[in-house]
Structure 1
């Protein structure tokens, strides 16, 4: 039977990121990733286009729909202008800024890799290479936010567990437990759903020659290890939250049963009193 080679199909949907070109800045380019929220409505952005359709000269601004903006070679004035333009379209902005930086070095010789001092070495500032580096930095800043939120969730649950260990009981408001479960599910949705940090970028479907560069960038920022650590902690938080919720529900069931028993006893007492009142003296 003859074998038919089918072309690789790229996932459909919105672009992985939007980009705005900026004036070129030379061979040393600073890259800064800002976390603006859990999601950005990119449909409302003006002046941004698909990275595959925009001519870039080495400096640009990438916007990712999972809440990150990466400035490549931007001046402080350009950075402030773009952040002010994008921020109104961000959902659930963080209470404190989350920023990661990197230095991109353009070299037409040698391997494309990450140097010992953390510089990202690229042969040229093509849209694909810049998008790949920006994607890794954007995913890293998203992971940093979720790592901090997960630690906060552990800090909130720990006093409840300590109370259970020391006193055999815990004051467990149902709303507090539901908030814990909601935080866990929200973090899982961000990591697995929106940012898809455990998956390779869609860009590599059409540019498989950049797969080695992505592997080196992913290893430098430890995306895989950090994602697996987050998943394990989310699983622990989920188990703890579900256990606490079961405990609260058991306490409510016990209270309900005691209330029913007390009501039955009260009705029996009323019945006995009425019988005693009718009994001839």
Structure 2
């Protein structure tokens, strides 16, 4: 009976993982969320599916993540097959700024510094806070796999190809996260653990007007290079791609930075 723990599971891609994985009654699925009451959809899923367990945990709190791992351990008998580290901060107030915009005035620079620190905590340190307490469970699992969600715009070649000068905190923090994942891979490979950074692709996780406009703008950027680009994936589509890739991973892949297809094709 495979077991999965997913962080940031209240909405978007994280919720997509819960929705897809819970369809198989043989799966045991743990939804780790900062606020258990924030997602009626997740609550309904847990009520309708006995294989879904909601656990309150903030990925920026080492104490809460340790408590979450202990709760998972009680249900699974001290093991976990797959850990999906999805929780992250995507947009900050400085998202629209390029590097030449940062030093125009003191207020802008301070805004950027705050956004960058937030992104480092939420997107880099959180990986350490989450991975550490779950390592022993993963080592005892049958699959021994960790997926850490990244982004294609953390790839320097992609940044240059698509000429994306903005959203520095997100892209830079995810690039730093990829380095942390590679470091983990070196230390864990002898235990048979496979840990990878995986980009989910461009995924439409919100239908709010401002977000819809953002997806439209990003889609146009990508279409300058790929005229036939169909546009954003749904969370379910992205999750199915990533789960397909997950099933093919072996310890030989550990530490890699890949797309939802398992290669470096980001769209």
TM-score calculated relative to the size of structure 2: 0.29
Q: Which has the larger radius of gyration?
A: 1
TM-score calculated relative to the size of structure 1: 0.28
